[in-house]
Homo-oligomer: A and B are copies of this chain.
Amino acid sequence: MKIAVSGKGGVGKTTIAAALVKLFSGVNRRVYAIDADPDVCLAAALGIPDDITSELKPLVEMKELIYARTGGEDSYFTLNPEIGDVLDDFCICQDNIRYLRMGGVKKGGSSCYCRENAFLNAIVSALLLDKNDVVVMDMGAGIEHLSRGTARGVDLMLVVVEPGLNSVNTAGLVKKLAADLGIKKVRIIGNKIRNRREKDFVLKHFPENELLGFVNYDEGVWESSMESGSTITSKESFLRNLEYIQQKILNEI
């Protein structure tokens, strides 16, 4: 099962992606948690210290290695979880979670992240998973990862929205562009819900069968964002809030 988490900036993509990684790691054999934004935050949310994350080789550096083994840029390649000798060098392992990052921080004015996005797409498409394995990709804010096709090949595109027109409009664009990419399932999660009015606002904008569920605003999550080393996965109340969404994801696939 390959999942991408997208949406407008600041809606809670990383928080929800990290919570899902943690919940899936409790029931699944192996969870790949992939930061698809050079401005990485998923690692911190999973409790991986900054100095370890910044030392991690970005996925794109695997390109030469794979091409050397498979015979050049134009070859097809397949990856399965058993060829750990390639992938392990690019992972931070935490129990059965394997954290990977798309690309490192580059010098200002040096280049775009097109190569990184293209390679991430190739890797995720090539990854052969066991029945109980899960990939969760935390996408960059906005829509460029869709026009680039980074998430092409995922089984499920989760779009996080908050009760505001901008995030609802972005979700509308994500749905449209995901369809262009041939992604069959796009589902909405309403996040930071404080009251009935905000829930109704989200309900008004999406058909019921597209809505996976709601996550209440959690003051503890906001407060803890100021504390170093705080991880979303230690927020029990928030995780409980996500459990039924995890169940609905399992039913979808």
Residue of B at shortest CB range from A177? B108
Cα distance A117–B142 in the bound complex, in angstroms = 15
* Contact A113–B144 (Cβ < 8 Å): yes
Q: Given B39, B111, B165, B222, which contacts A44 in the complex, CB threshold below 8 Å?
A: B165
Residue contact B39 to A142, C-beta cutoff 8 Å: yes
With A107-B180, A108-B181, A140-B142: A41-B166 Cβ-Cβ less than 8 Å:
yes
| 0/1 interface trace, chain A 117-133, chain B, CB 8 Å (1 if under) | 10000000000000000
Q: How far is the CA of A198 from the CA of B37 in the complex (A)?
A: 27
- Dominant SS among interface residues on chain A: loop
* Chain B nearest CB, measured from A191 CB (Å): 11
| Smallest CB separation, A142 vs chain B (Å) | 4
Supposing A39-B170, A105-B143, A107-B177 touch, asked if A226 and B164 sit within 8 A by C-beta, the answer is yes
Assuming the contacts A108-B181, A141-B140, A173-B39, asked whether A226 and B165 have C-beta atoms less than 8 A apart, the reply is yes
A94 to chain B, nearest CB (A): 19
Q: A165-B226, A173-B39 are in contact. Are A147 and B180 (CB under 8 A)?
A: no
Other A-B contacts than A38-B144, A112-B144, A198-B226, 5 sampled, CB-CB below 8 A, are A8-B9, A107-B180, A108-B181, A113-B144, A163-B226
Interface residues of A (CB under 8 A from B): 8-11, 14, 37-39, 41, 44, 50, 105-114, 117, 140-144, 146-149, 152, 163-166, 169-170, 173, 176-181, 197-198, 201, 222, 225-228
